[in-house]
Amino acid sequence: MSGQLFIISGPSGAGKSSLCAKLLEACPNLHLSISCTTRKPRVGEQNGREYHFLSLADFEAQKQAGAFLEWALVHGNYYGTRQSDVESLLQQGKDVLLEIDWQGAAQVANKIPAATRIFILPPSVEVLRERLTARGQDDASIIEQRVAAAEAEMAHAGEAQYQIINDNFDTALNALITLVKP
């Protein structure tokens, strides 16, 4: 018996990380795929828990060997999902969750067409801007860059089989659970 692959994408500020965390709590057979990265661990992060932290040489070697379902260079660091990690969980009959951007989602869907793609959307660009501002992490110019990037990402929402508008967290979470639970 093999598991099901679920890919969740959406722009920064849509709430996908919060939704994924609660989804994992609600669905015990669902397992988050741990991505690889070349960036240095942040305080409190552990290798194999938040990410598999790889040297640039190791990442490049795995990339050249075709080990990644998807990979990208983001802000000077590589990120990728190892195919063997995902396939191992699926072959054990476990459902797998990938929380990745729309480009990675497209790469994975090309290799695993049976994957279920779900795109999380904010209720509006204005609400997205408010959420990003409320985080208090970025100045106004960075927020506007993130909003512009989010608008470009949201243009790809239709590539996913399902779109969930995160206007109300509990409603969005229930919609996600309905899609993921057998």
Q: Note the pLDDT of residue 156.
A: 95
Predicted pLDDT at 95: 96
- Higher local confidence (pLDDT), 166 or 17: 166
Per residue in 35-78, pLDDT tens?
999 999 988 899 998 899 999 999 999 999 999 999 988 778 99
Q: Residues near 157 by Cβ (< 8 Å), separated by ≥ 6?
A: 10, 102, 119, 121, 163
Place of tokens 């929380």: 99
Instruction: Express each pLDDT in 135-166 by its tens digit.
Output: 877 788 888 888 998 999 999 999 999 999 99
End-to-end distance of the chain based on CA atoms, in angstroms?
14
Residue 1 pLDDT: 58
Confidence band of 13 (pLDDT split at 50, 70, 90): confident
73-130 pLDDT tens trace: 877 899 999 999 999 999 999 999 999 989 899 999 999 999 999 999 999 999 999 9
Q: How far is CA 19 from CA 15, 64, 99, 169, 177, in A?
A: 6, 34, 10, 8, 10
The β-bridge relationship of strands 52-53 and 77-82 is: unpaired
Cα 16 → chain centroid: 8
Tokens of 170: 């509990």
Class of the CATH-defined domain 5-180: alpha beta
